[in-house]
Chain A
Amino acid sequence: MKPLVPLFVILAVIGLAYGGGQLADTRYLLGIVLPYAAIATFLLGFSYRVIRWAHSALPFHIPTTCGQQKTLPWIRSSWIENPHNKRGVLTRMALEILLFRSLFRNSRAQIEEGPRLLYTENKWLWLGALAFHWSLLVILLRHLRLFVEPVPRFVIGMDTIDGFLQIGAPQLLITDVVVVAALLYLLKRRFTDRRLRYISLYTDYFALFLLLGIVITGILMRYFFKVDLEGVKQLALGLVTFSPTLPAAVGPLFFVHLTLVSLLFAYFPYSKLMHMGGIFLSPTRNLANDSRRQRHVNPWNYPVKVHTYQEWEEEFHDKIKNSGLPLEKE
């Protein structure tokens, strides 16, 4: 069973981190050495991957056109779905990145007796993906309160909005609920949709389990097994101000959370999670459909062997002549 291997790996990491969170030496390792190593791997690895992509040439302009091209003035062109200028491209990219435009088109095909092919709306994947990504972003930004002193106003504001239901103390945050629900949905798809189960790799489950582990330990710390926030903030601040400290009051659960987060950051550049950077570079989306309007140069263009008119005329000379077509050389 494919999900078992990654599940076991994550559980093992959790177990090790929980144990390690209780001994002084390993606390140092997990609380200070590992986060630094992970962030360094992330920053360098991420940059390396993006630079690698940038170094691959962009020979042709190959946007996937999803609407009417810009041609005659009286035909309304679809300037976002088939952009012909920078404004259109930027809008298209913004829609893709912020709202997952392409995924919004998703449909589900079925075949019935007849045969009859049916295509039905299917926005669940879009909704689940959007819910997950936006929640994760808000959660990440909320965490700035632990890394930055004084806490920026937008972080407090975000916290206020996130907790506007005012349930309990500490207040229930909407994103905490949404992110878990979305992750469980994304995981459920991989289990129950047979096509998806067939295409899923170990790494697909690994990413989901890892994220779930992070989210669940975070929620446990906030609502159930409390940790000393002052100590957590000292540790976090210590890391980003390069004066690492290890407060004594921080419990092992926090170390599990921190270890999983470190693992996520270190794993990121080696994985499909790089789609975060990649989506910006996708040549079927970030180019204008203007190759007839404007010439684009292929940096590695090279001369090729062609069959010239002269060679052609020579080969078929008599036939051309007999059929009465004009010749260059009589």
Chain B
Amino acid sequence: MREKLWIYGGLLLFLVGVTFPVWRDAITHATTQPPALEMPANQKQCVAPTDYMLTSHMKLLMDWRTSAVRDNNWKYTSFNGKVYQKRFSGTCLQCHSKAKFCDRCHTYVGARTPYCWNCHVDPALVKGATP
């Protein structure tokens, strides 16, 4: 009989473990509501279509970094012909807020904080500094 208790106890533990997301979300009252991202007030269009930015911004940023740093190529011509400076702080972060845009979504999907911030500074922290 004792050994059956072990088995059923183990099974229960397993079921509790497997359903962890269910009861954890119930405790935290999680909803499917996506995070409220603060959109830029002064711009309507990003450097690439929204769909592309949504899934592949990291790829664009890596491409920018490589071409700028390795090939000294700082100009980016976007899909609608507009030319941008390949600058993370100077271009991206002029419209987007780290805290209210980047971090919110990254935290939501649990994408770990990228190492962008190892070098780049959040402009919000250093008001008036030149990029």
| Touching chains A and B, CB distance < 8 Å | yes
Asked if A54 contacts B8 (CB within 8 A), the reply is yes
| B60 → A minimal CB distance (Å) | 10
Complex interface: chain B residues within 8 A of A43 (CB): 15, 18-19
Q: Which of B40-92 contact A (CB under 8 A)?
A: 51, 54-56, 58-59, 61-62
CB of A221, distance to nearest CB on chain B (Å): 10
Chain A interface mostly: helix
Judged by a CB distance under 8 angstroms, whether A170 is at the interface is: yes
Chain A residue contacts of B4, Cβ below 8 A: 54
> A168, A227, A229: which contacts B62 (Cβ < 8 A)?
A168
A156 to B108, CA, bound (A): 11
Q: Which of B95-131 contact A (CB under 8 A)?
A: 105, 107-112, 114-115
Are A169 and B62 in contact (CB-based, < 8 A)? Answer: yes
Name which residue of chain A comes closest to B110, CB basis: A145
> Size of chain B's interface in residues, with CB distance under 8 A?
38
Known interface pairs A54-B7, A166-B115, A241-B32. Does A228 touch B110 (Cβ–Cβ under 8 Å)?
no
B53 to chain A, nearest CB (A): 10
Q: Are B61 and A150 in contact (CB under 8 A)?
A: no
Please, which residues of chain A bring their CB within 8 A of the CB of B59?
169, 226
B2-23 contacts to A, CB under 8 A, are 3-4, 7-8, 10-11, 14-15, 18-22
| A58 close to B21 (CB less than 8 A) | no
Is there a chain B Cβ closer than 8 Å to A59's Cβ? no
Give how many A-B residue pairs fall within 8 Å (CB-CB). 104
Query: For the complex, what is the distance from the CA of A50 to the CA of B18, rounded to whole Å?
Result: 15
Best-buried of A58, A171, A228, A237 by chain B (most CB within 10 Å): A237
Q: How far is the CA of A151 from the CA of B108 in the complex (A)?
A: 7
**Chain B residues near A238 (CB-CB < 8 A):** 32
Cα A245 to Cα B31 in complex, Å, equals: 11
Chain B residues with CB below 8 A from A151, complex form: 107, 110
> Is the CB–CB distance between B58 and A170 below 8 Å?
yes
For B34, give the chain A residue with the smallest CB separation. Answer: A230
Min CB–CB distance B26 → chain A (angstroms) = 7
Docked complex: A46-61 residues within 8 A CB-CB of B:
46-47, 50-51, 53-54, 58
Smallest beta-carbon distance A148→chain B, Å? 5
CA distance A169 to B66 in the complex (A): 12
CB distance B21 to A170 under 8 Å? no
Q: Please give me the residue from chain A that is nearest to B7 by CB atom.
A: A54
Q: Closest CB of chain A to B99's CB: distance in Å?
A: 16
Looking at B24, B62, B109, B114, the one whose CB has the most chain A CB atoms below 10 A away is B109
Q: How many residues does chain A have at the interface if contact means C-beta atoms less than 8 Å apart? A: 45
Interchain CA distance A234-B33 in the complex, whole Å: 7
Cβ contacts under 8 Å, B114 to chain A? 169, 171
Within the complex, what minimum Cβ distance (angstroms) separates A191 from chain B?
Answer: 33
B30 at the interface (CB under 8 A from A): yes
Take A144-B21, A145-B109 as given contacts and tell me if A245 and B54 are in contact as well, using a CB distance cutoff of 8 Å.
no
Instruction: Give a binary string over A234-259; 1 marks a CB under 8 Å from any B CB, 0 the rest.
Output: 10011011010100010000000000
User: Which residues in A have their C-beta under 8 angstroms from that of B62?
Assistant: 168-169
Asked if A81 CB lies within 8 Å of chain B CBs, one says no
Whole-angstrom CA separation of A159 from B28 in the bound complex: 22
Option from A150, A230, A243, A277 in Cβ contact (under 8 Å) with B28: A150
Q: CB-CB contacts of A160-183 with B at 8 A, as 1s and 0s?
A: 100100101111000000000000
B7 lies within 8 A of A53 (CB): yes
- Closest chain B residue to A42, Cβ basis: B18
Least distance between A211 CB and chain B CB atoms (Å): 18
Pairwise interchain contact A280-B25, C-beta atoms closer than 8 A: no
A-B contact pairs, 25 of them (CB 8 A): A50-B7, A51-B8, A54-B8, A144-B20, A145-B109, A145-B111, A146-B110, A148-B25, A149-B30, A150-B28, A151-B110, A160-B112, A163-B112, A168-B62, A169-B58, A169-B61, A169-B62, A226-B56, A226-B59, A230-B34, A230-B54, A237-B30, A243-B31, A249-B51, A281-B7
Residues of A within 8 A of B (CB): 43, 46-47, 50-51, 53-54, 58, 144-152, 155-156, 159-160, 163, 166, 168-171, 226-230, 232-234, 237-238, 240-241, 243, 245, 249, 277, 280-281
Q: Which residues of B contact A (CB under 8 A)?
A: 3-4, 7-8, 10-11, 14-15, 18-22, 24-26, 28, 30-32, 34, 51, 54-56, 58-59, 61-62, 105, 107-112, 114-115
